[in-house]
């Protein structure tokens, strides 16, 4: 894990140096992914702004975010923490949509993620900074479990080639508080406390297996649960493929170019 840590920290710092920027901005949700990313950013020695952005959030999520932000500022002199309450902004926007008779629970949830993205980029613009993503490999390239132009709207993605298992191992290696490591993964976008596993129908360990199985093209007998997990993985991967691929761009034909 020490080698992975050093490689990622060096990669972040080199990218920032080459871009001419000397500050990193990270949204800290209270989950393990953002905890690992914010810690890796802090280890670069660059100014790192970590932000807790509750939006009608459950206390447990807000408290875990505060725990991580406080842990970072206690251990790194280059870290600046901010607490930005966005509930009023979100509620005002949602009420305006309701006036126009637009009402959709998924759109509401994604709106929270996109509002946080806007906040991160505003802060980044005020600090000549990079917005650092917190998605892991299974989320970003497996099932696409993130919000397009929300938590998927970032400048760099340091852990997007790490599985959830690797992220957990790295978190333990970095000394991140156990409360964060052991907390059930959740996007925190819904009014209830549903976990990622409850939304997807499979654990991250199962999804990692599906990713590896499909990449290996093994021809083996599968259990009923393994077949079910493959179906879940393929359903999410196919329906969310638009998030993982470049935006479709219309190309003029040779005839059109002449007009």
The full set of domain ranges for the chain reads 2-244
Q: What is the Cα 6 distance to its own chain's centre?
A: 21
The length of the chain in residues reads 259
* Cβ–Cβ under 8 Å, residues 76 and 40: no
* Cβ–Cβ under 8 Å, residues 160 and 134: no
Residue 129, H or E segment: none
Task: Tell me how far apart the alpha carbons of residues 158 and 48 are, in angstroms, rounded to a whole number.
Answer: 14
Kindly indicate the confidence band of residue 194, based on its pLDDT and cuts at 50, 70 and 90.
confident
Residue 59, H or E segment: helix 59-75
* Cβ–Cβ under 8 Å, residues 53 and 119: yes
Residue 142, burial from CB neighbour count under 10 angstroms (0-12, 13-18, 19+): buried
User: Which residue shows structure tokens 């819904």?
Assistant: 190
- Residue 258's pLDDT is 63
pLDDT per residue over 142-183, tens digit each? 999 999 999 999 999 999 999 999 999 999 999 999 999 999
Would you state the CATH architecture of domain 2-244?
Answer: 3-Layer(aba) Sandwich (3.40)
pLDDT per residue over 43-101, tens digit each? 999 999 999 999 999 899 999 999 999 999 999 999 999 999 999 999 999 999 999 99
């Amino acid at each position: 894990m020490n080698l992975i840590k050093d490689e990622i920290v060096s990669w972040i710092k080199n990218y920032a140096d080459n871009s001419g920027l000397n500050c990193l901005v990270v949204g800290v949700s209270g989950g393990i992914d953002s905890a690992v990313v914010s810690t890796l950013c802090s280890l670069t020695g660059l100014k790192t702004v970590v932000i807790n952005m509750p939006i009608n959030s459950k206390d447990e999520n807000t408290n875990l975010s505060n725990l991580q932000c406080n842990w970072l500022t206690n251990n790194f002199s280059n870290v600046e923490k901010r607490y930005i309450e966005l509930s009023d902004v979100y509620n005002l926007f949602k009420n305006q949509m309701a006036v126009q008779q637009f009402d959709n629970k998924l759109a509401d949830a994604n709106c929270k993620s996109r509002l946080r993205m806007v906040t991160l980029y505003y802060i980044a613009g005020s600090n000549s900074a990079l917005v650092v993503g917190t998605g892991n490999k299974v989320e970003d390239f497996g099932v696409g479990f993130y919000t397009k132009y929300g938590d998927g709207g970032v400048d760099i993605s340091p852990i997007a080639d790490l599985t959830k298992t690797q992220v957990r191992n790295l978190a333990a290696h970095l000394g991140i508080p156990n409360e964060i490591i052991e907390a059930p993964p959740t996007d925190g976008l819904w009014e209830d406390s549903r976990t990622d596993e409850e939304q997807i129908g499979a654990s991250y360990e199962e999804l990692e297996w599906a990713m590896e199985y499909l990449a290996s093209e093994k021809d083996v007998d599968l259990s009923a649960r393994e077949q079910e997990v493959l179906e879940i993985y393929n359903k999410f991967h196919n329906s969310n493929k638009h998030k993982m691929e470049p935006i479709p761009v219309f190309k003029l034909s040779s005839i059109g170019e002449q007009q």
